């Protein structure tokens, strides 16, 4: 058996050994991925205009024009294939006009060829981000210059053609869904990682229209967006299209039927609320805040879940994020009813108290602006016996020692507001605060006295307490 194994082993020369003289037989053929090769100069020729051919020939001409547009040209060199680029651009414009004019209902074959052409042009490997090229540490996404797509003169027209096809009243969804399928939608979603804001804007509009027109794709699209969020939150923290995806979701959430499905509530708690965690939240916070507010306006019972979620991801050292959170908190509280407010007011106002005493004046100032909102003031007034004892100490510290004059003045105004609400409660809180301060002062004096006694005892024994 050993000899047979050795004999069989000698028949297989190493493929990596260049010195082996044994001839190697033909390799088995492996199906290579289809690659669209740019045509050599002179192979793309202009075709006649649609208006110059008979109506019966227009569908065939449409397919021939699509085949020309399947050639992807190199835009890295502006002087390369200039003639072919212009012919393709003019052809794409004709295709867009043909679809937009509704000159004739395009056949199923034409639709299939059109989606093939769109796929050949837009589905591509996106260039890596700037920091990935250099190996340098990632910079703040808000400060980065976007990387613009050089092939945009063609890509824009391809996206426009796809958009016109999706929104056209002549497009039959039963036929179109064979070509705009789950695979196509996933590839569209991958393109949201493009750094070119023009491309993301088109993708946002197209995906929104696809969601509206193809009801069969709706759960799949929501789940796919969910997965993009998960990867962004827990793995990469880098994605160019989070804001655009949230804009689409804002419109989708607005259309949710009541009572809200459990699936949608889970999406709120598992995907949207954790989006407050990543460092670049400032890039997409406006869209995120709108989505969160939509949920609370749709179902006011979700206010407690949302507020507790905000508190869970509340920033500790990033003051700019705190200002954003405070603005969002105000929006949520505006849509909050008394019962939901009472469920979360204790942890909420403990955080508010910490923000009131922030040394960053914008955080303290934005917190005090909450008292400019009539609805929030009414909620606080109804529950003042719980709220005031929590924040009274923070208000007093601001009046006594906050460095910013504007914060000092706003704090005095808030104190006056509470005094007008309930003078007895205010005086009781003041008395309790004075007692706590007196006790704290006594403890401090006692500690100082104990240290003094220890120092004297050590000195009597000849021990230096500083160096010992």
Note the pLDDT of residue 456: 87
pLDDT for position 6: 46
Angstrom distances, CA of residue 325 to CA of 41, 309, 343: 57, 11, 20
Res 297: pLDDT: 94
All residues at 6 or more sequence positions from 455 whose CB lies less than 8 Å from its CB, including other chains = 465
Q: Which residue has the higher pLDDT, 114 or 75?
A: 114
Contact 239, 193 (CB under 8 A): yes
Q: What is the mean pLDDT of residues 6-26?
A: 43
Task: Tell me the pLDDT tens digit for each residue of 38-53.
Answer: 445 446 788 888 888 8
Q: What is the pLDDT of residues 306-351, one digit of tens each?
A: 999 999 999 999 999 999 999 999 999 999 999 999 999 999 999 9
For residue 284, give both structure tokens: 């997409």
What lies within 8 Å, CB to CB, of 154 at 6+ separation is 73, 75, 85, 88, 89, 92, 121
32 pLDDT tier (thresholds 50, 70, 90): very low
DSSP state of 29: P
User: How confident is the model at residue 467, as a pLDDT?
Assistant: 57
Please report, for residues 219, 222, 280, 320, the alpha-carbon distance to residue 268 in angstroms, rounded to integers and kept in the order given: 15, 12, 19, 24
Q: Which residue has the tokens 């923000």?
A: 355
Model confidence at 144, pLDDT cuts 50, 70, 90, reads low
Q: What is the pLDDT of residues 287-312, one digit of tens each?
A: 999 999 999 999 999 999 999 999 99
- Residue-level pLDDT at 128: 78
- pLDDT (tens digit, 9 = 90+) per residue, 148-193? 899 999 999 999 999 999 999 888 999 999 999 999 999 999 999 9
Q: Which of 70-84, 120-134, 350-364 has the lowest mean pLDDT?
A: 120-134
Band (pLDDT 50/70/90 cuts) for residue 127 is: confident
Q: Which residues of 447-468 are buried (b: 16+ CB within 10 A; e: fewer)?
A: eeeeeeeeeeeeeeeeeeeeee
Q: How far apart are CA 208 and CA 186, in angstroms?
A: 14
- Tell me the DSSP string of 257-273: -SSPPHHHHHHIIIIIG
Which of 237, 274, 284 has the alpha carbon at shortest distance from 129? 237
Q: Mean pLDDT across the chain, nearest whole number?
A: 87
CB 340 within 8 A of CB 301: yes
Residue 464 pLDDT: 65
Token readout for 456 is: 């004297």
Quote the pLDDT of residue 45: 83
Using the Cα atoms of residue 298, residue 304, residue 310 and residue 312 in order, give the sign of their dihedral: negative
Instruction: Kindly provide the residue ranges of all beta strands, DSSP E only, lying in 231-333, ordered along the sequence.
Output: none
Give the three-state DSSP class for 137.
coil
* Arithmetic mean of pLDDT, 94-111: 87
- Binned at pLDDT 50, 70 and 90, residue 278 comes out as very high
Q: What does the block give as tokens for 411?
A: 């704090």
Token pair, residue 382, equals 């109804």
Per-residue model confidence as pLDDT tens digits over 197-253: 999 999 999 999 999 999 999 999 999 999 999 999 999 889 999 999 999 999 999
Is the model's pLDDT at 137 over the cut of 60? no
pLDDT at position 286: 96
């Amino acid at each position: 058996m050993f000899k047979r194994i050795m004999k069989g082993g000698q028949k297989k020369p190493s493929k990596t050994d260049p010195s082996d003289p044994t001839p190697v037989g033909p390799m088995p053929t492996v199906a290579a991925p289809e690659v669209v090769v740019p045509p050599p100069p002179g192979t793309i020729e202009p075709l006649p205009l649609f208006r110059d051919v008979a109506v019966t020939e227009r569908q065939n001409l449409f397919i021939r024009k699509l085949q020309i547009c399947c050639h992807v040209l190199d835009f890295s060199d502006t002087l390369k294939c200039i003639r072919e680029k212009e012919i393709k651009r003019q052809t794409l414009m004709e295709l867009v006009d043909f679809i937009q004019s509704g000159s004739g209902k395009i056949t199923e074959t034409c639709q299939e060829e059109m989606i093939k052409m769109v796929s050949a042009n837009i589905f591509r490997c996106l260039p890596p981000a700037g920091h990935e090229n250099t190996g340098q540490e990632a910079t703040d996404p808000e400060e980065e210059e976007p990387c613009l797509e050089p092939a945009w003169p063609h890509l824009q027209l391809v996206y426009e053609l796809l958009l016109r096809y999706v929104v056209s009243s002549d497009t039959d969804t039963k036929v179109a869904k064979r070509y705009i399928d789950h695979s196509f939608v996933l590839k569209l979603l991958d393109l949201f990682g493009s750094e070119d804001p023009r491309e993301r804007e088109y993708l946002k509009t197209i995906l929104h229209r696809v969601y509206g027109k193809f009801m069969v794709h709706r759960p799949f699209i929501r789940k796919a967006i969910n997965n993009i969020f998960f990867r962004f939150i827990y793995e990469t923290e880098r994605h160019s299209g989070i804001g655009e995806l949230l804009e689409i979701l804002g419109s989708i959430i607005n259309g949710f039927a009541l009572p809200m499905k459990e699936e949608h509530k889970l999406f709120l708690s598992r995907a949207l609320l954790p989006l407050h965690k990543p460092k670049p939240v400032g890039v997409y916070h406006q869209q995120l805040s709108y989505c969160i507010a939509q949920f609370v306006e749709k179902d006011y019972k979700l206010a407690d879940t949302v507020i507790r979620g905000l508190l869970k991801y509340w920033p500790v050292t990033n003051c700019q994020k705190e200002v954003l959170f405070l603005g969002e908190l105000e929006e949520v509280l505006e849509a909050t009813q008394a019962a939901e407010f009472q469920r979360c007011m204790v942890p909420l106002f403990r955080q508010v108290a910490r923000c009131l005493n922030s040394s960053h004046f914008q955080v303290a100032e934005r917190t005090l602006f909450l008292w400019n909102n009539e609805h929030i003031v009414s909620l606080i007034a109804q529950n003042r016996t719980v709220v005031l004892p929590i924040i009274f100490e923070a208000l007093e510290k601001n009046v006594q020692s906050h460095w910013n004059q504007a914060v000092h003045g706003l704090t005095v105004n808030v104190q006056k507001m509470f005094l007008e609400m309930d003078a007895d409660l205010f005086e009781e809180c003041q008395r309790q605060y004075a007692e706590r301060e007196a006790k704290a002062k006594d403890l401090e004096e006692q500690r100082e006295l104990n240290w003094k006694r220890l120092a004297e005892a050590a000195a009597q024994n000849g021990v230096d307490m500083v160096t010992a």
